[in-house]
Structures are given as structure tokens and as C-alpha cells.
């Protein structure tokens, strides 16, 4: 399984780009799903023998509830097999990775190698995105949307790199790297976000870093680390904003801070005056509100949505397109909007509950574990915050890289929390029997 995870990391982060460049056959992109299927088989086989003892009951309740919601959505909408297959492929392909650490122990040595490999994948993005930006600039394409790294999407790339930055910050909190090393690593890792014009970076980086410091730091070190985090953020912003403005001012005529403060600009980005079903444009907020207003006339759709895959397109072909894809295509802009469309408000609520449980696991492990797992958990508090906030910004479900990243390492932390709990129980002192102080009963006395 260690080799399988290593291969999965390489395939997830490099194969899409290599296929696009024509370096490897296009069929290689399905290798990720083949590996995930092998992992699923292993998890089922070993988990059946161990009864998934290292998985908390709360997770079974949430995943079971999600399965019921998905099934109800399929039944209520009599969903065709094509969109259903495409939806199951998109939603479930990385779920087994969450359970893998519960049946296959991930020690510190293995975890260190995997984290270093992920860091290497993050380092690759800087030269790749800079080359892409310079190449497209020379061809007259001045938009940063072409700076996609090896993940093939600028927004997904930024979210991933910000998550890596949170984990690096967790390493600093556990004194595994110095403040100087932290600043250098963050500038390298976050460099692509300065050239791909991801506006959300301005909010997601502070959210991720500050959440990591507040939730992952030791209580007596929180103030000092918060000051260090503010210093690091000021360094990053002093680089991010000027570089961002350098690229957008020739096209916009104004900079990023002007965009945020100019009357009507930010509001127009979030909401459109004529947003409605069938409209040509919709803002980020519209993508959430308009479908809810449309579903309000049908309680079943409001609760369970249209069925997984039934409001999405598919790389497998038009026969796998959802029946409602064209009707709601303008509104599937974010993960939260997609979950509302395809799993209803219940699906979105359960996903938020799942993320909250992952956050609590990370916080608990960070507080009790002094190993590398504890350092990862400290950073993972920020990762969960970034992923949660990104749900209203970016559609992440079709991109397997983030799904692998989220579910696998969340599973590592969840399994670690169970291991710590079992160790604490094993080391707990046995209760001392209390002496019987009741007076002895004389023979022949009735009870």
C-alpha cells in the first residue's frame, strides 16, 4: 500500500499535465482511479477482518446518512444510469482513502516520505506556472487563468498550495522548522498564486494561516506564534499584491485593492442583477440562492437535490451528462452550489458536519501528539478551514487531486486519534477496589 499511495501522489499531481503535453498516453489519467479501486478492495478485505476498529462510530453515521441522501436523490428523480455512474465516479472515487489508514498503519517514517513528496509536487508548481504565464503573455493572452501548473486549473492550484502552506506552518508551530525556513518555504510554495490571478488567495491565505496558529498552537505559545504569523502574512501580502497588480493593471486599469474597494465591483462579482434560471450570468452568491429558490417549490428536491451527477457534465461523453446540466450549468460554480443541486440542503449540511469532525480530529491530535502526526494535525486545522471556505468559491468535486489530498490525510489523522485514545485507555491505572466497610452479618441473621 505504501507504493500504491506514492504512485497515486505522482499520478494525481503530474499525469493530467503530462497527458496534456502529449508525453504519456491519455489513458494514463485513469490510472488514478484504478489505484483507488485497488485501495478500496484492500480496505474492504482487511476492514472486514478487523471490523474497522480504528474508525469512530460517528463517521459511520455521517457516511451512512450521506448514502441515504444520495439514494433518495436518485429515487426521487428516477436518475438515468449514465449520469448516476458519472456522479458516483466523481463523488466516491477517493472515499476509500479515508479508511485506508484505519486498516493499514501509517508510521512517522512513511508519513514523512509522503509529505516530502507532496512538498516536492508543490515546488514543481512555481516554475511551471511562471513558464505558462510568460508563454501565454508572449502570445497575447494576458489572463492568469492559463497559469494552471500541473493541476490544470488555476483555482484548484491555489487552494492546494494554500493547504500546503498551512501544513508548513504546522511544522513551524511544532519547532520542526525555523521562522526563516518557514518564510522561504511559503514564498516558494505560494509563488504561483501571485501570477494566476486567484482573487480568493487574498482571503484564503490569512484564513488558513491564522486558523492553523489559533487552533494548532500550544496555548502558552499562541500569542508569540500569532505575532509571527502576522509578520509572515505581511511579508506575503507585500509580494502578492504588487505582483498581482503588475499583471492585471494593463487589462483592468486598476489593482486588486481597488477591485475590493471600488463601489459595485465586488458586489457585481458576487451577485448579478438579472440572475435567474436560464440567465447567461450568475454570481457566486447567486449560484447558491437561485437554485434554493427554484427548489423551494419541491420539498423533495430541496432536501435531496437532483441526484449525484444529474446536474453535471462528464469527461466520459454526452451520454453521461446529467439531465439538468444545461438548465443549471451557470449555477454549478462552487462545491457548495453543486452539492445543493445534486444532494440538496441535507447533502450540503452533512458535508459540513463531516468537515467539522475532521477539524475536531485534527485539533485533538495536535493537542496530544508530539510526533510528526501531531505537526501534520496542527497544520490540518488550517487545511480544513481553507477547504470549507473554498466550498463557496470553487467547484472542487471534479478535480481528484484535492479529493485525494483531503480524504487520505484526514484519514491519517482520524486513525491517529483512535490510536491515541486506545493507548490512553491501555495506560489508564486500574481502579483500586474499595474496602467493604459494612458490618459483618452474624450467622442466622436474615438478609
107 Cβ partners below 8 Å, 6+ apart? none
Angstrom distances, CA of residue 294 to CA of 258, 286, 298, 345: 35, 12, 8, 13
Domain-embedded: residue 295: no
pLDDT by residue for the chain (447 residues), tens only, comes to 888 899 999 998 998 889 888 888 888 878 888 888 899 999 999 888 888 888 899 999 999 999 999 999 999 999 988 999 988 888 888 889 999 999 998 999 999 999 999 999 999 999 999 888 888 777 766 666 778 889 988 889 999 999 999 999 999 999 999 989 999 999 899 989 888 878 888 889 999 999 999 988 787 777 888 888 888 888 888 888 888 777 777 776 767 776 667 665 565 556 666 667 766 667 778 888 888 988 988 999 999 999 999 988 887 788 888 888 888 888 888 899 999 999 999 999 999 999 999 999 999 999 998 899 999 999 999 999 999 999 988 888 878 788 888 999 999 999 999 988 888 877 766 566 666 555 555 555 544
Domain-embedded: residue 63: yes
Cell, residue 206: 490569512
Domain-embedded: residue 373: yes
Torsional sign, CA 198, 382, 189, 119: negative
Q: What is the model's pLDDT at position 67?
A: 94
Q: What is the model's pLDDT at position 280?
A: 66
Domain-embedded: residue 310: no
The answer to whether residues 60 and 98 touch, using CB atoms and an 8 Å cutoff, is no
Domain-embedded: residue 112: yes
Domain-embedded: residue 380: yes
The Cα 353–Cα 358 span in angstroms is: 9
Number of residues assigned to the chain: 447
Give the domain range for residue 14. 2-271+317-422
What DSSP string runs through 28-95?
Answer: GGGHHHHHHHHHHHHHHHHHHHHTTTTS-HHHHHHHHHHHHHHHHHHHHTT--HHHHHHHHHHHHTTH
Residue 432 carries which DSSP code? P
The Cα 394–Cα 337 span in angstroms is: 9
The Cα 55–Cα 131 span in angstroms is: 44
Q: What is the model's pLDDT at position 242?
A: 84
Domain-embedded: residue 82: yes
Q: What is the model's pLDDT at position 447?
A: 41
Of the candidates 341, 317, 328, 345, the residue with the CA atom closest to the CA atom of residue 397 = 341
**Based on the structure, what is the number of domains in the chain?**
1
* Number of other residues whose CB lies within 10 A of the CB of residue 276: 12
Domain-embedded: residue 156: yes
The Cα 52–Cα 67 span in angstroms is: 18
Amino acid at each position: 500500500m505504501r507504493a500504491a499511495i506514492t504512485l497515486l501522489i505522482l499520478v494525481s499531481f503530474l499525469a493530467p499535465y503530462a497527458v496534456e503535453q502529449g508525453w504519456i498516453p491519455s489513458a494514463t489519467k485513469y490510472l488514478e482511479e484504478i489505484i483507488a479501486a485497488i485501495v478500496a478492495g484492500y480496505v474492504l478485505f482487511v476492514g472486514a477482518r478487523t471490523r474497522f476498529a480504528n474508525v469512530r462510530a460517528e463517521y459511520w453515521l455521517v457516511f451512512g446518512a450521506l448514502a441515504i441522501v444520495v439514494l433518495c436523490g436518485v429515487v426521487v428523480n428516477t436518475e438515468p444510469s449514465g449520469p448516476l455512474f458519472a456522479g458516483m465516479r466523481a463523488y466516491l472515487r477517493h472515499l476509500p482513502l479515508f479508511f485506508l489508514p484505519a486498516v493499514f498503519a501509517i508510521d512517522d517514517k512513511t508519513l514523512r516520505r509522503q509529505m516530502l513528496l507532496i512538498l516536492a509536487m508543490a515546488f514543481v508548481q512555481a516554475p511551471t506556472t511562471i513558464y505558462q504565464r510568460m508563454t501565454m503573455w508572449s502570445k497575447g493572452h494576458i489572463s492568469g487563468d492559463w497559469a494552471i501548473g500541473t493541476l490544470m486549473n488555476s483555482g484548484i492550484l491555489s487552494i492546494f498550495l494554500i493547504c500546503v502552506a498551512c501544513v508548513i506552518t504546522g511544522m513551524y508551530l511544532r519547532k520542526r522548522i525555523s521562522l526563516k525556513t518557514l518564510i522561504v518555504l511559503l514564498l516558494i510554495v505560494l509563488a504561483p498564486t501571485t501570477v494566476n490571478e486567484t482573487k480568493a488567495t487574498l482571503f484564503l491565505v490569512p484564513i488558513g494561516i491564522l486558523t492553523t496558529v489559533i487552533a494548532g498552537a500550544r496555548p502558552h505559545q499562541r500569542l508569540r506564534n500569532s505575532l509571527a504569523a502576522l509578520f509572515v502574512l505581511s511579508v506575503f501580502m507585500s509580494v502578492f499584491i504588487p505582483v498581482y497588480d503588475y499583471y492585471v493593471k494593463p487589462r483592468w486599469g486598476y489593482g486588486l485593492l481597488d477591485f475590493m474597494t471600488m463601489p459595485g465591483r465586488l458586489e457585481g462579482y458576487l451577485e448579478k442583477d438579472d440572475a435567474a434560471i436560464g440567465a447567461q450570468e450568475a454570481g457566486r452568491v447567486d449560484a447558491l440562492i437561485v437554485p434554493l429558490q427554484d427548489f423551494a417549490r419541491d420539498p423533495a428536491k430541496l432536501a435531496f437535490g437532483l441526484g449525484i451527477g444529474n446536474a453535471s457534465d462528464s469527461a466520459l461523453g454526452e451520454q453521461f451528462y446529467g439531465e439538468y446540466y444545461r438548465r443549471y450549468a451557470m449555477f454549478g460554480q462552487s462545491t457548495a452550489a453543486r452539492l445543493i443541486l445534486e444532494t440538496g440542503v441535507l447533502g450540503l449540511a452533512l458535508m459540513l458536519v463531516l468537515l467539522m469532525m475532521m477539524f475536531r480530529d485534527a485539533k485533538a491530535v495536535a493537542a496530544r501528539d508530539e510526533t510528526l502526526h501531531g505537526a501534520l494535525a496542527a497544520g490540518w486545522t488550517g487545511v480544513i478551514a481553507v477547504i470549507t471556505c473554498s466550498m463557496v468559491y470553487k467547484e472542487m468535486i471534479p478535480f481528484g487531486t484535492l479529493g485525494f489530498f483531503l480524504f487520505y490525510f484526514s484519514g491519517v489523522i482520524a486513525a491517529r486519534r483512535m490510536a491515541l485514545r486506545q493507548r490512553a485507555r491501555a495506560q489508564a491505572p486500574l481502579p483500586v477496589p474499595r474496602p467493604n466497610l459494612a458490618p459483618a452479618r452474624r450467622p442466622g441473621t436474615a438478609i
